[in-house]
Structure 1
């Protein structure tokens, strides 16, 4: 009986919920895959862990789109769609943007240079 009472506190401690640490909230960016679909239409597939919401993974895709737009020598992009999924703690986004040298028509446009700068300031990597 003495052995049981000696190890009982350790067994009970293992059942207590773990308190999250700051590291549990720092996103881990797992990479970007780009595919040129047609002329100015580009698909971005991104993956990350420790996202707090769909907005986090969508922002990662937007940062990839902004950087890709600049790499291609263009200044603007227009968001077409983003699908987000989470499985096993890995968040994935499949996003499509059009890229163009001038401001495209539409409501969801981004200035690639400004967006890329904002991403860098927030620590969100790009392509």
Structure 2
């Protein structure tokens, strides 16, 4: 299975809503198997000054949003490490084989809120990732 998420599909608000939706609540949790992801690592490559490629892999994902969230968490933490406060999603390609999900994502990082609708406030996203138990860079 190979999927590409369009540019406008991932925003800070969408990511946070998606991460919150990942945890089953109430009676739904009783009827579902426990979510037990295995995060298999993050590879980061600087493509040019502010353009960064993140490759992540995980097993136990429930679907595309889980692996996309892992890549977004990596991008947000990387932006903070570099002294920037924001990231903008450019594209994410996702592939799943044998239960291992892989994402190849590209983000720009910047000190100020970039133009566009697929932006991440790095501090907010990293805090939410920590609350959700999603590792970062």
TM-score range, shorter chain: 0.7 to 0.9
1:45 CA displacement:
0.1
Q: Give the structure with higher Rg (CA).
A: 1
**Unaligned 5+ runs, structure 1:** 1-19
Q: Could you tell me how far apart the structure 1 residues matched to 2:33 and 2:113 are?
A: 43
**May I ask how many residue pairs the two structures share in their alignment?**
106
Aligned CA RMSD, in angstroms, stands at 1.1
The one of 88, 99, 122 equivalent to 2:109 is 99
Could you tell me which residue of structure 1 aligns to residue 45 of structure 2? 35
* TM-score after normalising by structure 2: 0.75
Runs of 4+ in 1 over 2 A off after TM superposition: none
**Unaligned 5+ runs, structure 2:** 1-31
* TM-score after normalising by structure 1: 0.81
Deviations 1:16-75 (A, max 9, x none): xxxx853xx310000000000011000000000000010000000000000000000000
